[in-house]
Chains A and B, each alone.
Chain A
Amino acid sequence: MNGPGIGWYVIVAAILFATGAMGVMLRRSPLIVLLSLEIMLNAGNLTLVAFSRQAGNLDGQIFALAVMAVAAGEVAVGLGLIVAMARRRLALDVDQASALRG
């Protein structure tokens, strides 16, 4: 293959994953947390596709498609939760939504 080797793609995925993890841990708006989660899932997907290309085996791409479906489901449920929170006049702040804290 011409161009960058697989390692470069994996490094991009690692930086992307760390960025998303930082967003999930630092931000308090549930919307931004969900968006950062998407970034983390996509970083994982990029790794799967890169190693799929490296091994010459399509299983990694199949896995990446399954991850995309799970991500779509997660967004549907997560956005439903956010809308339900907004409807009950709760603050859109993950630090204050602690009613289920053990």
Chain B
Amino acid sequence: MGNFLVWVVWFLAAAGCLGSGVAVVSLSNPFYSALALIGNLASLAVLYLLLAAEFLAAAQVLVYAGAVMVMFLFVIAYLGGRADAPWAGGPPLLRTAAVLAAGALLVEVVVVLGLAWGDDLMGPAEVSDSFGSPAEIGELFLTDHLLAFEITSIVLLVAAIGGVVLGTARETEDTE
């Protein structure tokens, strides 16, 4: 019974994930695209929970669906009607090539997965209840992965400075 419930939750989350992904790519109003991406991130958080990544699921909802998407929606509101994005792709040849390239990526992954299908992909390791908990993640960040942790803070600082520099108005400069 528990097994069946997990499959149902997985199916709903995966369907929501893929459906909202297609919506993000295909809608012409960026506002609705951003809202669909919030749905996508929320269903991904459900998948993370099924994979015993509780802290990551919480961070996903807080950082992505919370902070990043609010920034997106602010910029879309700031741009107003200028942000509208009609489909109008490039030349037909380029469009066909894009679809072919994306399809090729998908086929590659599916073929590689098919070759490895079996116990390797179906028998996950036994993990303790605290796997993926904030305590374990925090301990790893402050011991084995301290360098990655510090570099992440520098990356965020540089990105914040870059955002401020790019967003600062310079009225004296003319349009090219």
Contact = CB atoms under 8 A, between A and B. Distances in A.
Interface of A: 1-12, 14-23, 25-29, 31-32, 34-36, 38-39, 42, 45-46, 49-50, 52-59, 61-62, 64-66, 68-77, 79-84, 86-90, 92, 95, 99
B156 A73 contact: yes
A16 B18 contact: yes
Given A42-B64, A61-B53, 6 more contacts: A22-B102, A32-B25, A38-B64, A39-B25, A62-B141, A83-B78
A16 B22 CA distance: 8
A77 B126 contact: no
Contacts of B79: 31, 82-83, 86, 92
A18 B71 contact: no
A72 B24 contact: no
A41 to B, nearest CB: 10
Contacts of A64: 53, 56
A39 to B, nearest CB: 5
A56 B126 contact: yes
Nearest to A86: B79
Complex A-B, nearest 4 residue pairs according to Cβ-Cβ distance, in ascending order:
A56-B125, A73-B159, A3-B6, A29-B85
Given A29-B83, A75-B68, A77-B162, A53 B51 contact: yes
Main secondary structure of the interface of A (DSSP, over half): helix
B124 A75 contact: no
A46 B44 contact: yes
Contact of B2 (A2, A17, A32, A35): A2
26 contacts: A1-B124, A14-B110, A16-B18, A17-B105, A19-B21, A21-B102, A21-B105, A26-B98, A32-B30, A35-B33, A39-B25, A42-B40, A49-B56, A53-B125, A56-B131, A61-B55, A69-B152, A70-B155, A72-B159, A76-B160, A80-B164, A80-B165, A84-B167, A86-B82, A90-B175, A92-B83
Contact of A20 (B21, B98, B140): B21
B163 A76 contact: yes
A92 B85 CA distance: 9
A66 B101 contact: no
A87 B110 CA distance: 44
B119 to A, nearest CB: 9
Given A36-B24, A58-B136, A87 B51 contact: no
Contact of A62 (B71, B106, B140): B140
Nearest to B145: A62
A7 B136 CA distance: 25
B125 A2 contact: no
A61 B158 CA distance: 23
